[in-house]
Amino acid sequence: MTAQVNSSRAVRASYRALEPSRAGKVLRVVLLSVASVVTIFPFYAMVVLSLKPVAAVEFPGSLVPWPFDGGAYERVLGGGDLPVWTLNTLVYSLVSVVLVLVLASLAGYAFAKKRFPGKETMFWSFLAMVMVPYHVTLIPLFVLVASAGGVDTFWGLIVPTLANAQAVFLMRQFIAALPDELFEAARLDGASEWRIFMRIVLPLCKPILATLGLFVFLWHWNDFLWPLVVGKSTDMRTLTVGIAALQEQNVPLNVVLAGATVAFVPIFAAYLVGQRYLTEGVTMSGIKG
């Protein structure tokens, strides 16, 4: 696989030599295929079981997808205010994503590339707050939001979730790895700080912003406890809360899975649309140059 090289023709050969050999390629595909099957299997089981009649769960018969039975979906979709819940969830998730991305990239850039007083303290206090268990802060946080009149409002739902330390941390780690020379060059050209952020930092962060954005979206989309606690009235319900409210205590597996699949489909659709951007990455010529 390695080759001792010197001449310029051989350099081109080495370029190819970074690629695995034929045997390596086969091994790669085999490994990846096995990993894919393992990854997909539980997922396949979820969808198939949600389409089964109640109690058809004995393996292996339960994993044959036919015949379909939509009974579970009827129970989940019947009678609810699905459009309202979806809309609420969309507002909660999308607004949060945009704001978190802006706030986190600003702060991440400053933590990575700027020197200012109190930086170390601020950064570690950010990080430390990730380590305080959520259940400890739940009641004080709710008391705060409630006393500010945030119960049953979108801002009460969204604003407390914007201080996302994990997002700041992630952005900082990525921006820290970008070479300083890029920013210095722009600075010497007389670009303002704001312009540097907009024109250099953000474009270079595209892949990680896509990743982070998707995650923030998912956190919010799947969140249950906070929307439940803040949205007291029926009109403020999100999808997760709304679907849970439709269920009695002993819910059959297929109904749980059908409910989850209903909440999952929009995410999956968004993922199909956005995954190219997300998983392909972006060639960052600026860095390599």
Could you say which residues in the range 159-198 bind other proteins, by CB under 8 A? 159-160, 162-163, 165-166, 168-170, 173-174, 176-177, 180-181, 184, 188, 192-194, 197
Three-state secondary structure string covering 147-191:
HCCCCCCHHHHHHHHCCCHHHHHHHHHHHHCCCHHHHHHHHHCCC
- Minimal distance in Å, beta carbon 150 to other proteins? 7
Residue from 136, 189, 190, 285 binding other proteins (CB under 8 A): 136
Which residue has 């659709």 as its token pair? 269
68 or 210: CB nearest other proteins: 210
CB 77 within 8 A of CB 259: no
**Residue-wise DSSP of 14-60:** HHHHTS--HHHHHHHHHHHHHHHHHHHHHHHHHHHHHTSPTT---TT
Rank residues 68 and 124 by Cβ distance to other proteins and give the closer one: 124
Among 251, 265, 273, 277, binds other proteins (CB under 8 A): 251
Kindly state the smallest distance separating residue 88's Cβ from other proteins, in Å.
15
Q: How far apart are CA 93 and CA 217, in angstroms?
A: 5
Residue with smaller CB distance to other proteins, 60 or 67: 60
Options 14-22, 65-73, 84-92: segment touching other proteins (CB under 8 A) = 14-22
* Cβ(55)–Cβ(252) below 8 Å: yes
Q: In angstroms, give the least distance from the CB of 84 to other proteins.
A: 13
* Burial of 100 per CB tally in 10 Å (0-12, 13-18, 19+): buried
CB 251 within 8 Å of CB 136: no
Q: Should residue 28 be labelled a site residue for other proteins when binding is judged by CB under 8 A?
A: yes
Pick the closest to residue 255 from 264, 247, 263, 245 (CA basis): 247
Among 111, 157, 238, 258, binds other proteins (CB under 8 A): 111
The radius of gyration of the chain's CA atoms, rounded to the nearest angstrom, is 25
Q: Is 26 in the site for other proteins (CB under 8 A)?
A: no
Of 135, 189, 190, 285, the residue at the interface with other proteins (CB under 8 A) is 135
Position 91 contacts other proteins (CB under 8 A): no
Q: Is 241 in the site for other proteins (CB under 8 A)?
A: yes
Single residue of 74, 119, 199, 273 touching other proteins by CB under 8 A: 119
Contact call for residue 264 and other proteins (CB under 8 A): yes
